[in-house]
């Protein structure tokens, strides 16, 4: 008996047993009462409610049909009221026959007869009809006005159903807006707007211009950064009157563009800068490697605003022959040899030959380079090639607003698809706010498309949509599948959990066994 006692430990005291249960309970209470709520609170993914269906509608083009109603007023001071009305009707007819793109609609209206130099600010273009020798059409260079003269017999009689003058005006208008129409329609076709809004046929000429335009111009950004650099092969010139030159030649263009873009500017002077190509005469192939990207401190467009570089290179190098230049159309044609070339989506290089002892470049010496730069800046911002400047600018504004509208819509769509595809991604409140703001501004932009407010709203919408899509806290969790959570939890919590769980199981087993024993003992007693 004593022997057996020494092998088998004596039964546990009830007080010890109770103490052990209490200890296990104390650990489990901490786990359950503190650990679980904290786990729930710190790892639940916050998903703000997004109007997913509305976002998808926008990206599918169901929410907004981009329509550009363009009002064109006709000033015909020399015509009778009813004659003018009739001409207008006929022209509108001719226009409608020519137009196959419903989103881009030219609507004519008769301007009240008034002073000659006045033009209607509400309409995109004012046509000033005046009697003349033959049919001619001329754009006013500084106002959105098209002067059309007509031969004396050009006025249609009230009964006729067609008139050469009406057809002439219609074709003039159409050619004036052809580029814009083509640009917008290509934007729409590139997006997922349903095909019934698209024009059926594009002239090969227009499609050629279209393919060139986006290739050359920079992607839209609300702000562009302009870098003006003076590179010289030697020690001179070491200073330039850049502020004066910018104020005089660049500022007017920047002011004109200011409703569409903001610009920031910096300048630099680099002495002893060796170009990438040392030839005396630069061939077309050399131009692409002229920029010495490795050594010239030209800031790349990483983050912030995209940079447009304007480089004045002081040196003796010349460009081979003007006829070989295909990329410097904006350059002064009267110059015996080209001095500059445009690098698509990047900027412009201007070769400036100077006497070797020039120490300071005056603003006047920079006139030619800067005129080149301004014209290249316009083509880099994607402004249309033809038409008068005011008309080109308003066209640019419309193209940009359409572009922004579509991009904001497609960003919304991507965000909605992302939120649907990744149920574990967190969506912070700021994203939901951004989406709501985007949709509000998109709606406003859609209503006022074609006008300046439309552009402003589209800009806000695009910026908000991008901000919401690239929300930092969302990107971090983008690629965090559920399997990875095992790798996060297990190494630490696994070892901790083993003694906790085993302790609990043993305790429960012992408790069940005790209950069974007492039950059996009770039964045994009854039987006795």
Partner 1 sequence: MDGAMVTPGRTAGLFAGAAVLRLAIFTLLPKLPDLLTGRVEISTPVTSFKRLQEGLFLYNHNVSPYDGGVYHQAPLFLPLFSLLPDFSSLPIFTYLLYTAADLLSALALWKIADSGEAGSSALFTSPRKGKRWSGFIIAALFLFNPFTVATCLGRSTSVFTTCAILHAIAKAVSGAPFGAMIALSFASYLSMYPLLLLPPLILLSYDRQRPERATKSGLKFAATCASVVAGVLAVLFQMSSLVTGSWEFLPSTYGVQLTLSDLTPNVGLWWYFFVEMFDSFRSFFLAVFWLHLASYVGGLTMRIRRQPLVVLTLLMGIFGIFKPYPSISDTSLFLALVPLYRHVFPLMRYTFVIAAVILYASFLGPAFYHLWIYAGSGNANFFYAITLVWGLGQSLLVCDLMFAVLRDEWEVERPEMVGKEIRQI
Kindly list the residues in this chain that would bind partner 1 in the complex (CB under 8 A): 6, 10, 19, 22-23, 26-27, 29-31, 34-35, 38-39, 42-43, 426, 476-477, 480, 488, 492-493, 496
Q: Which is nearer to partner 1, 3 or 142 (CB)?
A: 3
Q: Which is nearer to partner 1, 39 or 470 (CB)?
A: 39
Residue 163 contacts residue 156 (beta carbons within 8 Å): yes
Quote the least distance from Cβ 493 to partner 1, whole Å. 7
Instruction: Kindly tell me the burial class for residue 12, based on how many C-beta atoms sit within 10 Å of its own C-beta (0-12, 13-18, 19 or more).
Output: exposed
Residues in contact with 433: Cβ distance below 8 Å, sequence separation at least 6, in sequence order: 468
Residue 156 contacts residue 166 (beta carbons within 8 Å): yes
Q: Which is nearer to partner 1, 18 or 514 (CB)?
A: 18
The b-or-e profile of 473-483 (16+ CB within 10 A means b, else e) is ebeeeeeeeee
Quote the least distance from Cβ 418 to partner 1, whole Å. 17
Quote the least distance from Cβ 512 to partner 1, whole Å. 19
Q: Which of 169, 206, 128 is nearest to 386 (CA)?
A: 206
Quote the least distance from Cβ 425 to partner 1, whole Å. 11
Q: Which is nearer to partner 1, 36 or 519 (CB)?
A: 36
Q: Which is nearer to partner 1, 335 or 497 (CB)?
A: 497
Q: Which is nearer to partner 1, 272 or 489 (CB)?
A: 489
Q: Which of 329, 315, 299, 290 is nearest to 229 (CA)?
A: 299
Q: Which is nearer to partner 1, 16 or 196 (CB)?
A: 16
Question: What phi and psi, each to the nearest 5 degrees, are found at residue 126?
Answer: -115, 130
Quote the least distance from Cβ 221 to partner 1, whole Å. 30
Quote the least distance from Cβ 473 to partner 1, whole Å. 8
Quote the least distance from Cβ 464 to partner 1, whole Å. 25
Q: CA distances (Å), 375 to each of 76, 213, 232, 371, 403, in order? A: 34, 14, 23, 6, 22
DSSP symbol at 47? B
Q: What is the dihedral of CA 426, 430, 436, 439, to 10 degrees?
A: -90
Q: CA distances (Å), 256 to each of 252, 419, 465, in order? A: 6, 40, 27
């Amino acid at each position: 008996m004593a022997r057996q006692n020494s092998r088998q430990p004596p039964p546990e005291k009830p007080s010890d047993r109770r103490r052990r249960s209490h200890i296990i309970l104390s650990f489990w209470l901490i786990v359950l009462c503190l650990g679980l709520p904290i786990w729930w609170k710190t790892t639940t993914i916050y998903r703000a409610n997004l109007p997913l269906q509305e976002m998808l509608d926008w990206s599918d083009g169901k929410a907004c049909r981009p329509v550009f109603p363009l009002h064109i007023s006709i000033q015909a001071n020399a015509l009778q009221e009813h004659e003018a009305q009739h001409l207008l009707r006929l022209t509108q007819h001719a226009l409608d026959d020519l137009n196959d793109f419903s989103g881009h609609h030219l609507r004519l209206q008769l301007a009240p007869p008034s002073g000659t130099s006045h033009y209607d600010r509400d309409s995109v273009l004012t046509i000033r009809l005046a009697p003349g020798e033959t049919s001619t059409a001329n754009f006013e260079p500084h106002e959105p006005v098209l002067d059309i003269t007509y031969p004396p017999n050009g006025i249609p009689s009230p009964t006729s159903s067609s008139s050469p003058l009406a057809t002439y005006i219609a074709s003039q208008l159409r050619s004036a807006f052809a580029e814009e129409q083509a640009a917008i329609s290509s934007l729409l076709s590139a997006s997922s707007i349903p095909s019934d809004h698209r024009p059926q046929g594009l002239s090969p000429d227009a499609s050629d211009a279209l393919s060139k335009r986006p290739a050359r111009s920079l992607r839209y950004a609300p702000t562009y950064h302009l870098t003006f650099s003076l590179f010289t092969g030697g020690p001179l010139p070491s200073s330039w009157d850049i502020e004066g030159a910018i104020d005089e030649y660049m500022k007017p263009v920047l002011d004109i563009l200011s409703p569409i873009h903001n610009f920031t500017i910096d300048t630099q002077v680099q002495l002893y800068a060796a170009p990438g190509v040392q030839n005396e005469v630069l061939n077309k192939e050399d131009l692409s490697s002229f920029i010495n990207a490795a050594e010239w401190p030209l800031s790349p467009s990483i983050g912030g605003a995209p940079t447009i570089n304007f480089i004045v290179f002081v040196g003796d190098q010349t460009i081979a022959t003007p006829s070989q230049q295909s990329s410097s159309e904006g350059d002064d044609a009267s110059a015996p040899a080209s001095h500059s070339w445009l690098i698509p989506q990047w900027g412009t290089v201007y070769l400036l030959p100077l006497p070797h002892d020039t120490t300071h470049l005056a603003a006047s010496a920079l006139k030619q380079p800067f005129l080149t730069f301004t014209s290249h800046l316009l083509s880099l911002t994607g402004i249309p090639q033809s038409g008068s400047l005011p008309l080109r600018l308003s066209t640019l504004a419309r193209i940009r607003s359409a572009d922004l509208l579509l991009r904001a819509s497609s960003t919304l769509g991507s965000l909605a698809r992302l939120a649907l595809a990744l149920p574990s991604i967190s969506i912070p409140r700021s994203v939901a706010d951004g989406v709501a703001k985007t949709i509000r501004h998109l709606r406003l932009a859609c209503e006022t498309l074609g006008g300046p407010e439309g552009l402003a709203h589209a800009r806000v919408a695009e910026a908000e949509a991008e901000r919401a899509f690239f929300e930092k806290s969302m990107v971090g969790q983008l690629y965090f599948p559920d399997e990875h959570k095992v790798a996060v939890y297990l190494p630490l919590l696994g070892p901790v959990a083993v003694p906790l769980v085993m302790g609990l199981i043993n305790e429960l087993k012992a408790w069940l066994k005790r209950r069974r024993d007492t039950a059996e003992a009770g039964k045994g007693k009854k039987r006795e």
